[in-house]
């Protein structure tokens, strides 16, 4: 079977400038067979409406739901003392992010919520002798990716069900930092974040994965107009925006409260 190439976006987080730059890089790649978006399209950034408009216009894209996308469906701000990923609900950072979710929900409206509801939890393909799995983080949880031990157990289980498969690739987002781990015929990949990296490198990230007759994993880090994102945060002032400005500048989470 011929090779198949996936272009992978993840963790856009309403960063319009980074998102548009990432799409231009993908368009220039030419030989992409399938576009995959690994979730957390919305929340935190300043341009959820503009990002939604572009996402709705994309053809040949498989959308995976992230935890921040889920928060919008759940209206997490309506819960009593909501907590995010185990955070103290009284932590000002947690409170700020929850209020940012509410702001984002009000921006994208019902059209955005309907779009999120149509997203997948995961996507699986078998190409030649390789099985590729795409999720935001992991099965049954969207806020913590698999450890190498969990992924190895998954590989062993899948191998019993698919004896013709002898190569396994697991691709996730969520952590906002690059990851490449290998255990024999298992590879765990994350290219980092398209819109909000946390690895002290402020460049966005797009991943290109080719499987089939060959395996190739190519992570493109790219510069984008960060000042445009910073200015839009300052103009629209969503909840938590000063922290987000620091994250855009320094590519790490800083407590600006």
Sign, CA dihedral 79-84-90-92, equals negative
Is residue 246 included in any domain, yes or no? yes
Q: Across residues 239-251, what is the average pLDDT?
A: 96
Tens digits of residue pLDDT in 152-198: 999 999 999 999 999 999 999 999 999 999 999 999 999 999 999 99
Q: What is the pTM of this model?
A: 0.96
Is residue 23 included in any domain, yes or no? yes
Nearest to 223 by CA among 247, 242, 205, 244: 205
Is residue 155 included in any domain, yes or no? no
State which residues form the domain around 99. 4-121+190-250
How many structural domains comprise the chain? 1
Backbone angles phi and psi of 221, in degrees to 5 = -95, 135
Tokens of 27: 């368009």
pLDDT mean across residues, the chain: 96
Nearest to 248 by CA among 10, 11, 15, 9: 15
CATH of the domain at 116: 3.60.21.10
Residue 253's pLDDT band (cuts 50, 70, 90): confident
User: What's the rounded Cα separation, in Å, for the pair 12 and 255?
Assistant: 21
Q: Across residues 114-128, what is the average pLDDT?
A: 97
Tens digits of residue pLDDT in 187-217: 999 999 999 999 999 999 999 999 998 999 9
Identify the pLDDT of residue 174: 98
């Amino acid at each position: 079977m011929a090779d198949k190439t996936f272009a992978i976006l993840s963790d856009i987080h309403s960063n319009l400038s980074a998102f548009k730059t990432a799409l231009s890089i993908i368009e220039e790649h030419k030989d992409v067979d399938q576009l995959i978006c690994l979730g957390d399209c919305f929340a935190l950034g300043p341009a959820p409406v503009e990002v939604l408009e572009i996402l709705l216009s994309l053809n040949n894209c498989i959308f995976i739901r992230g935890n921040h996308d889920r928060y919008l469906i759940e209206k997490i701000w309506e819960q009593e003392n909501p907590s995010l990923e185990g955070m103290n609900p009284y932590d000002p950072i947690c409170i700020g992010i929850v209020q940012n979710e509410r702001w984002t929900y009000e921006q994208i409206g019902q059209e955005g919520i309907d779009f999120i509801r149509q997203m997948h939890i995961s996507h699986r393909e078998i190409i030649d002798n390789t099985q590729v799995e795409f999720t935001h983080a992991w099965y049954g949880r969207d806020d913590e990716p698999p450890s190498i031990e969990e992924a190895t157990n998954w590989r062993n289980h899948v191998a019993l069900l698919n004896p013709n498969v002898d190569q396994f690739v697991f691709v996730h987002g969520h952590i906002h930092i690059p990851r490449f781990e290998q255990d024999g015929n298992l590879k765990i990949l994350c290219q980092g974040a398209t819109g909000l990296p946390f690895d002290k490198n402020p460049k966005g990230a797009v991943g290109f994965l080719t499987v089939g007759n060959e395996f190739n994993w190519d992570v493109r880090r790219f510069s984008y107009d960060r000042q445009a994102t910073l200015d839009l945060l300052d103009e629209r002032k969503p909840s938590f925006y000063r922290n987000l400005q620091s994250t855009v500048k320094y590519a790490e989470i800083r407590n600006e409260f």
